[in-house]
Chain A
Amino acid sequence: MSDRDKRARDLRMYFIGFAAAVALTALSFLTAILQPFGPAGVFAALSILAFAQVLVHFRYFLHIDLSRQKREDLHLILFTGLIIAIMAAGTIWILGNLMMRMM
């Protein structure tokens, strides 16, 4: 593969990521503006679109994938995900509970 091809391939990663990110962002904004589903449906749609866009950014901008070479980085992301789940869910649970009692 020539240098030119490699350069084009590297650039293509960013362009694909950018196009996908713009499309998902536009869908998110349209969902919120037009509100085609009920409240629960809109929140579900926004969550799914946001999650998909996070995956797109990880894949195409940060170049994280499931290949063997980068397992440690993926492990770190998954561990961070675990910490986040414990801390965020705990915060929302406990402080939300406290707030309900204060109302």
Chain B
Amino acid sequence: MSTSTATANSHPGLNLGPSHGEAHEQAETVVFGFWVFLMSDLVTFVMFFATYAISIQATAGGPGNADIVDIASIGMQTGALLISSLLFGIATVTMKHGSTPRRVIGWLLASLVFGLCFLGLEVRDFIDAAEKGAVPMRSGYLSAYWALVGLHGLHVTVGSIMILVVCAQIAIFGFAADVKTRVLRLGLYWHFLDIIWIGIFSIVFLPGILT
């Protein structure tokens, strides 16, 4: 990959490039700030993971890991998040290369649809778990489980709302410089949640089906 100054990246995520003028100049600072937030959010998540890891045997006779995992649902949730991430990536690329606001909003809404699919499946799994008596107050293990998976779900919910917000901003203000950098930052957030989800399915769900 070429690293000449014309194509050099100045911040994480997709770089708009010098042809975007003001937005590209702003992006380095605001995206770095957002990156600091994401990394601190990562520390928060890791502490929830650590709490989960030490609580895994603290089931107090209640439902454990193996009782609440629906592997087909987890597979679909993983797929929905990955597709959503890809669609958001396409949205940012089309924005960078001069697509119309309408088309970019279309990609963003497509990404949102898959995010909502994920949330729907997750809520259904939570309801199933609650019906089996696996409620957060049942045991230390279940508190840690609901806190970790719920925290990720909460992040996806906030991200979904923010997708609607940036879509509205694009529709109202067009591609103003700060609207463009907001889309970039939301993209980082959305891809970041995917990375957290890798940890969740590898640490929480897949070990649950091991015999």
Could you tell me if B207 and A88 are in contact, using CB atoms closer than 8 angstroms?
no
Could you tell me if A73 and B35 are in contact, using CB atoms closer than 8 angstroms?
yes
11 contacts between A and B (CB under 8 A): A10-B97, A11-B93, A14-B86, A18-B85, A69-B3, A76-B36, A80-B40, A87-B43, A87-B46, A88-B47, A92-B50
A14 — nearest CB in chain B belongs to which residue?
Answer: B89
Chain A interface residues toward B at CB < 8 A: 3, 6-7, 10-11, 13-15, 17-18, 21-22, 25, 28-29, 31-33, 35, 39, 42-43, 46-47, 49-50, 53-54, 57-58, 61-65, 67-70, 72-73, 76-77, 80, 83-84, 87-88, 91-92, 95-96, 99
B199 contacts which chain A residues (CB < 8 A)? 50, 54
Could you tell me if A63 and B43 are in contact, using CB atoms closer than 8 angstroms?
no
B209 contacts which chain A residues (CB < 8 A)? 32-33
Q: How large is the interface on B (under 10, 10 to 19, 20 to 34, 35 or more residues)?
A: 35 or more
Cα-based distance from A69 to B12 in the complex (angstroms): 10
In the assembled complex, the CB of B111 is this many whole angstroms from the nearest CB of chain A, namely: 12
B10 contacts which chain A residues (CB < 8 A)? 69-70
